[in-house]
Amino acid sequence: MATSAALNTLTSAAFIMVVPAAVVGRTADRVSHPAEALKRYRPPSRLSNWQSAHEVFPKTGASGFALPACWAENDDLPLGISGGTPPPEFDHSKSRPLHATRVDRVTRSCFVAVAARTDLAFQQCIDPACRATFSVDEVLTACPSCGNLLDVEYDWDRLRPPTSFEIFERKWMRRSDPLALSGVWRFHELLPYAPRESVVTIGEGQTLLSPSDGVGGYVGMNPGRLLLQYEGLNPSGSFKDNGMSAAFTHARMIGARRAACASTGNTSASLAVYCAVTRLMRGIIFIGSGKISYGKLSQALDYGALTIQIAGDFDDAMARVKEVAGKLGIYLVNSVNPFRLEGQKTIMFRVLESLGWDPPDWIVVPGGNLGNSSAFGKAFAELRKIGLIDRIPRLAVINAAGANTLHELYTNRGLRWEGGRADLAPACHYYDELDRAHKRADTIASAIEINRPVNLNKCLRALEVCDGVVREVSEQEILDAKAQVGAGGLGCEPASAASVAGARQLVAEGVIGRDERVVCILTGHQLKDPTATVAYHTTDQKLFNEVLGSRGVSRASFANRSVSVGNRLDEIVQAIDLYG
C-alpha cells in the first residue's frame, strides 16, 4: 500500500516507524514489515521507553501502518510502511513504551519511534532533526532523545482556533468568571493544553500597557510612540505569575504535590504565592548565597515556601534543583518547563489587545534566562500561523553588561538559530572560558543575573522569527533608566529598566526609528529591590558607594534626594518654597 493511501486511512492515531538506512537502504521507499527491521536492529539502550507490540503496530484501517506526512518533510529517508499484525516472533516481554524519535544524519542510524498524535496538544522537541513528540501528561524539561528543549504544540487544524480577536473581547463582560478575569486564561483558546476544570488562576495578568511620553523623551522617541507594558501589577509583583499559572495548571493535571525552582527572587516569590493561595503543593526554592534582594526573599519566606540557600549563584542553584527534582520526583517550575512559557505568551496577547490587535514595531525585553523572549517569539509565530496577525514585531533582547551571555554569543560571536541548525560550539567555548576564569554573573539587575540561560536555543529561534537584535547596557544606564521610569509614575526593579536603557541605545544607533511604535517590557515592581532605589536617590554617600559605586555607578543624574530640615515650621516652609 502506498504511503499516501495509508495516510488516508489514518483515523484515530498516527504512528511513525523509522528503521536504519543500513537495513532498508537510503533509497528504499518500502519495507515488507516493520517488525522485520526490528529483528535486525537493536535500538540504543539509552532510550528507555518502548510501547508494546500491539501499540507499536496498530492497525490504521484495512491494511496496516502509516508514515505521517510530516516525516516526509523533516527527514530525507522516505519509508513507506505496510503489512498486517506483528509476527509471533516479536518479543512482547521486552517491550517498553517509547515516545521519542531521532535520526542521526551523520551515521544514518535511527531510533524506532512511535509518535502518538491523537491529542490536540502535545510536547515536541524544538530540534527540527528530532521532533520527538510527547504527551502533555508527561513531565519533561528536555527531550529524552536529543537533550534539546521542548515546546508545547497544538494541532491547530483540528482545534479550529479563533478566526478573529472578538472572542477575547467578549470575555471582558464576564468578570465573574475566573478564567475570563485572568489575563492568562482569557486567552485559553491560544494555550489549549488544559481542560477548564484543571486551570489554576489567582487573578494574574491584570496588567496595563501605558503610554509614557516622559520616558519616551528620555529614550529619544517622538511623543506617543513609546509604551510600557507593566507586569509589576501581577499578584507577586512580577511577570512570573503569567507562567506560574500555566505551570501550576500542568502540575495539577499530572497530580504533583511538590514544586521547586531555582531563583534570583521573582520565580521563588511567584511559586510561593501560588502554593500559599491554592494549597495544592508545597513550594521549595533554591537561591544562591547573597544573590537575592530582600524584597523578593521576604515574599518567599512570608508565603511559607521551604527556602534552601546554597553556596553559589543562580547557575549553581539551577543545576542542583534539576538534580533534586529528578531524584525526588518534584515538579520543576523554572522556565525550562515548556508550560511556563505558554503562560508568558499571554503578555504579548495583552499588548496586542491594548493596541487594538495592531502589532507594534518593536518589543524590547530584558534578557536573563531568556524565557520571555522565547515565549514572545512563539506567541507571534503561532498568531501568524493561525492567521490572527500578518506582521510580526521586531524583538530586542537586552542583557546587563555583567551578565551578557546572549550579547556575547549573538552579537560578538555570531551564534544564530539557522532554522534549527545552530552550531552551538561558540556557546560551549564561551562557557568553558567562564569556568576557566571563574567568572560569575554580577549586576545590580539581580533578576537577570544569569550566565547560563536555559532558554538560549528558544531565544535564538525567537530572534530569527522576529528579526531581532541583542544589546548590553551598563549599571549606570540601567539605574538612570530606572529613575526615569519611576519619575513617570510606574516604578520598576533594576532588571526591568534594562529594556528602557536598551531602547535608548538602539534609538541612538538609528536601529529604532524615533517614530516607530515601541513597547518596553517592565518585568517587576519597584518594591522588588528597594535597596537599589534608595541608594540611587540617597544623600548618604557611603550608602551610594557601597551599593552602587562598587558596581561602577558614578553618578545619580536623576536622583530625587530628600531634604533634611529641623523640626521648625519656618524651616519646613522655607524648604518647600525652595524646592517645591
Provide the residue ranges of all domains of the chain, joining segments of one domain with +: 1-160, 208-233+345-551
3-class DSSP string for 378-409 = HHHHHHHHCCCCCCCCEEEEEEECCECHHHHH
How confident is the model at residue 402, as a pLDDT? 96
pTM given for the model: 0.80
In this prediction, residues 420-429 reach a mean pLDDT of: 94
Positive or negative: CA dihedral 500, 506, 509, 515: negative
- The model's pLDDT over 169-200, given as tens digits with 9 standing for 90+, comes to 999 999 899 999 999 999 999 999 999 999 99
Tell me the residue type at 426: P
398 pLDDT more than 70: yes
- The model's pLDDT over 516-548, given as tens digits with 9 standing for 90+, comes to 999 999 999 999 989 999 999 999 999 999 999
**Residue 297 pLDDT class (50, 70, 90 cuts):** confident
DSSP class per residue in 440-465: ----S-GGG--SS-TTHHHHHHHHHH
Query: Rounded CA gap, 57 and 504, in Å?
Result: 59
227 pLDDT more than 50: yes
41 pLDDT more than 80: no
The CATH code belonging to domain 208-233+345-551 is 3.40.50.1100
**Residue 76 pLDDT class (50, 70, 90 cuts):** very low
- Residue-averaged pLDDT of the chain: 82
How confident is the model at residue 312, as a pLDDT? 86
The distance in angstroms from the start CA to the end CA of the chain is 86
Grid cell at residue 395: 524583538
In this prediction, residues 92-114 reach a mean pLDDT of: 30
More confident residue, 295 or 55: 295
**Residue 291 pLDDT class (50, 70, 90 cuts):** low
